[in-house]
Structure 1
């Protein structure tokens, strides 16, 4: 047991078996979070019927989770650096597991929405520090690339797996089981995490206990995400959307000013000096916003236009999960080692442009083998893009900032998702209404709306590809970043990250 639970020391990283078990725990924790985000989508009609939810009320089953998750990631990541990432991971897993029990037992909309908010809190705590723990465990470039590939697979393929599992559980049992299934997983993660994750004391609250900054950034992100997800129903030009959006911008601007002047800032602005960190986070916003249309709108197209059931929808999405898993686990680390993160990212983004480009031409009466299966297989590009982007996003993280940089990377992911939900859903709905008013059938109108969303998503991916090619054009060392304890730490050199000179 001592070999398993021994923390890292100055003499070297933990034992190989310990790190392998720790990676399994971190990946399982991430998988649980990702599954919970996607497993709900195919169960929404059943939840709505059982709890008599209005369409607006049903949206909050998703929005409550999204707002809590996205709004608390940055704060949770910094708390991990200050009080210990293992403590935050364990606490988040406990909160998420308890909230899953509450959601599974919910008999009213209010209880379910409150439980979903608490699930978002727990997920934010575990997701924010997971990557931080990983990059401190795997310091050697080739090992880190393989570990990030495993970790990224849980995020890339977990969404499709969640749709399959959600459909099966909803059809075979009841929607309650999409939450109750988290209980044994969560308890297992708690027990194993306590044993195998390396203990870390953190920097101490005095190193960054910026209460005012924490309040500003959390309030700004929460309000921004809330304004975005509500814009689809209230309208982008409504006083509600514009007012809350403006307030969110003011709060985030005040946060940046606070971080520039605070003695112990919550988010030292030096972490944004890394070209890899800043560029990867911007690319991620565009990529995730675009891929919302694949994860959610394809499922809606299968059900609403082609008439697939919940289980059928999940199974139809399964080839995408298999392709993503095969690429991310099988070849992505080797390609990164040979060609570098930037090149692998560009190829992955190009494949994803093809995915949404094909979907933008999907017909009303589609043939799955001809029109959809090639799309699912091309989704393997996500298995290339996400590990490479994750490595770039964590490239400037020092030991004292790993949790913060992890939280920042996950925060931009949620911001991208919120923008995707708001913008692409609104565009699809608006186009559908226009076609219905012009006399099109429901299936034709829905397909037209989805096509527009897919086309806009493809445009966002083209922008992400151009940004990655321009901003991440040189994976060099970048500026030297002062560490939280006054030491200097530079992002890894290109040859250190790629494993080649």
Structure 2
């Protein structure tokens, strides 16, 4: 603790301030891209990882969960650490941890080794990501300059998932699954070298680390997500499922009590008293829950039903990346003129429209007829939301609490995604099991003797029947995604009440 106080009180190292804002923004955005795309870049490589490291199907899901849960659970601590020790130095430390963990993941020789490295990646991402967002407030003046920076940052953050799918397909097809991790190492080193030269250090605020809050929040959220995942496989009455949910309730209640009493909480609960900020967090949570349904289940559909290769599946997501970038840039350029509210409402409605369209997925759905349209709508909606929701979350926040405010925003995005996906997987599993029983009856009624022999040997339904089971489960998951999208619309319309900021006044007294 003495070391922490000494670091917090030491004067910040000088930086070449304001000379190259473009380079500073590139460094910050590249970090966010690296952290965000790592959530999806691994998805397409999972079958190769399973074969190389002898994962079973259930444990394989933790290659994703080990990262997202650690990342989401420790984001609050990462934001607080940047406030206390200085955002630039914490930012660099997080990037280096992330790069080291990526190297360890790339050379993994066992499943346990890989999962440990993925958890360490999540820790590095949790340190780097909230400080990256907060550094925009440190390095760019409030107004159009900061709005433009947020626009670039939001476009990168929003498109990172789709870019990860494309890059994962390319690296897996052309090199090896290990390169989905190795690619982060040179990028992380370059960022760590450039950051001290072009990024301003923030003012440090001496304080304490709320380790009790970090522990109860992280383990509580892990228990909650694990409970949903467990229910998808073993049912809601399973003893481990019930124990996991009970532990989650106890720990998350302890987290709230601790934050109310702690002298320097990891999450200043008074930040939630602002109606608009609370609405921004709720909106981000719901949109992220719907977003994961699009990325996860559409990826499953195009590969297992449409027969796309990993590389082609990655390219199938390029349109959503373009839509996110275009919408985010438009929203950033027009924040001063229109304010956040119109973009939040319009973006939420577009997200809802995309999920409604995707919920019509059937066995005869084609890419052009039933995948491209919904993903484009969803991309336009996400791009419209990201900039105004970030600006709303950090608006009127004291400088020493910017890290906490941005950490909460990132946390709601990651927790919303993880929790939403676990709920959607539960719906998918239940719907698939019910449909499988119906398809089994239809198969047994029509099967030839040869087909019955093959079924007894493999335990698997033939393609037409198994495809119907998969599509029914995906469609049911999208229908659950409608709930999250509808909640986002309600929050945008009825909770958030922000108005356009007054036009800046020039020294002559005329409006800018």
Q: TM-score, normalised by structure 1?
A: 0.89
Contact 1:67 1:226 in 2 (8 A): no
The 5 Å alignment of 1:321-332 reads: 321-329=321-329, 331-332=330-331
Equivalent position of 2:498 in the other structure? 475
Q: Does 2:457 match 1:458? A: no
Equivalent position of 2:473 in the other structure? 449
Query: Which is further off, 59-68 or 298-307?
Result: 59-68
Q: Does 2:179 match 1:177? A: yes
State the secondary structure of the residue aligned to 1:119: helix
Contact 1:63 1:229 in 2 (8 A): no
State the secondary structure of the residue aligned to 2:400: coil
Question: How far, CA to CA, are the matches of 1:52 and 1:296 in structure 2?
Answer: 23
Query: Which is further off, 335-344 or 36-45?
Result: 335-344
How far residue 366 of structure 1 moved from its aligned partner, in angstroms, is: 2.5
Go from structure 1 to structure 2 and tell me whether the alpha carbon gap of 1:339 and 1:434 turns closer, same or farther (over 3 Å shift).
same
Contact 1:231 1:241 in 2 (8 A): yes
Equivalent position of 2:143 in the other structure? 141
Contact 1:285 1:415 in 2 (8 A): yes
How far residue 6 of structure 1 moved from its aligned partner, in angstroms, is: 5.1
Equivalent position of 1:433 in the other structure? 433
Q: Which of 27, 36, 39 is residue 38 of structure 2 equivalent to? A: 36
Equivalent position of 2:451 in the other structure? none
Question: How far, CA to CA, are the matches of 1:246 and 1:38 in structure 2?
Answer: 30
How far residue 192 of structure 1 moved from its aligned partner, in angstroms, is: 0.9
Q: Does 2:502 match 1:495? A: yes
Go from structure 1 to structure 2 and tell me whether the alpha carbon gap of 1:340 and 1:209 turns closer, same or farther (over 3 Å shift).
same
Query: Which is further off, 53-62 or 229-238?
Result: 229-238
Equivalent position of 1:198 in the other structure? 200
How far residue 281 of structure 1 moved from its aligned partner, in angstroms, is: 0.5
Equivalent position of 1:238 in the other structure? 238
How far residue 396 of structure 1 moved from its aligned partner, in angstroms, is: 3.7
Question: How far, CA to CA, are the matches of 1:335 and 1:344 in structure 2?
Answer: 9
How far residue 117 of structure 1 moved from its aligned partner, in angstroms, is: 0.7
Question: How far, CA to CA, are the matches of 2:469 and 2:401 in structure 1?
Answer: 49
Equivalent position of 1:482 in the other structure? none
Equivalent position of 1:347 in the other structure? 346
Contact 2:70 2:218 in 1 (8 A): no
How far residue 292 of structure 1 moved from its aligned partner, in angstroms, is: 0.9
Go from structure 1 to structure 2 and tell me whether the alpha carbon gap of 1:211 and 1:45 turns closer, same or farther (over 3 Å shift).
closer
State the secondary structure of the residue aligned to 2:317: helix
- 1:288-337 CA distance string (max 9 Å, x none): 111111011100000111111100100111111112112213x1112322
Question: How far, CA to CA, are the matches of 2:322 and 2:417 in structure 1?
Answer: 22
Question: How far, CA to CA, are the matches of 1:112 and 1:261 in structure 2?
Answer: 38
State the secondary structure of the residue aligned to 1:140: coil
State the secondary structure of the residue aligned to 1:306: coil
Structure 1 residue runs of 5 or longer lacking an equivalent are 9-13, 477-492
- Equivalent residue pairs, number: 470
- 1:104-125 CA distance string (max 9 Å, x none): 1112111111111111110110
Equivalent position of 2:134 in the other structure? 132
Question: How far, CA to CA, are the matches of 2:323 and 2:203 in structure 1?
Answer: 40
Go from structure 1 to structure 2 and tell me whether the alpha carbon gap of 1:222 and 1:452 turns closer, same or farther (over 3 Å shift).
closer
Question: How far, CA to CA, are the matches of 1:223 and 1:290 in structure 2?
Answer: 21
How far residue 67 of structure 1 moved from its aligned partner, in angstroms, is: 1.9
Equivalent position of 1:296 in the other structure? 296
The 5 Å alignment of 1:142-291 reads: 142-205=144-207, 208-291=208-291
- 1:339-381 CA distance string (max 9 Å, x none): 2111101101111111111111123133322222222322222
How far residue 201 of structure 1 moved from its aligned partner, in angstroms, is: 4.7
The 5 Å alignment of 1:18-37 reads: 18-37=20-39
Equivalent position of 2:460 in the other structure? none
Equivalent position of 1:85 in the other structure? 87
Query: Which is further off, 236-245 or 103-112?
Result: 236-245
Q: Does 2:125 match 1:123? A: yes
Q: Specify the structure having the higher radius of gyration (Cα).
A: 2
Equivalent position of 2:55 in the other structure? 53
Contact 2:44 2:169 in 1 (8 A): yes
Question: How far, CA to CA, are the matches of 1:349 and 1:324 in structure 2?
Answer: 13
Contact 2:302 2:367 in 1 (8 A): no
Question: How far, CA to CA, are the matches of 1:385 and 1:210 in structure 2?
Answer: 31
- 1:266-287 CA distance string (max 9 Å, x none): 3322222222221111111111
State the secondary structure of the residue aligned to 1:401: helix
Go from structure 1 to structure 2 and tell me whether the alpha carbon gap of 1:172 and 1:196 turns closer, same or farther (over 3 Å shift).
same
Equivalent position of 1:486 in the other structure? none
Equivalent position of 1:485 in the other structure? none
Go from structure 1 to structure 2 and tell me whether the alpha carbon gap of 1:218 and 1:436 turns closer, same or farther (over 3 Å shift).
closer
Query: Which is further off, 23-32 or 317-326?
Result: 317-326
Go from structure 1 to structure 2 and tell me whether the alpha carbon gap of 1:225 and 1:372 turns closer, same or farther (over 3 Å shift).
closer
How far residue 143 of structure 1 moved from its aligned partner, in angstroms, is: 1.6
Question: How far, CA to CA, are the matches of 2:355 and 2:180 in structure 1?
Answer: 29
How far residue 250 of structure 1 moved from its aligned partner, in angstroms, is: 2.3
Question: How far, CA to CA, are the matches of 2:206 and 2:310 in structure 1?
Answer: 48
Go from structure 1 to structure 2 and tell me whether the alpha carbon gap of 1:62 and 1:209 turns closer, same or farther (over 3 Å shift).
closer
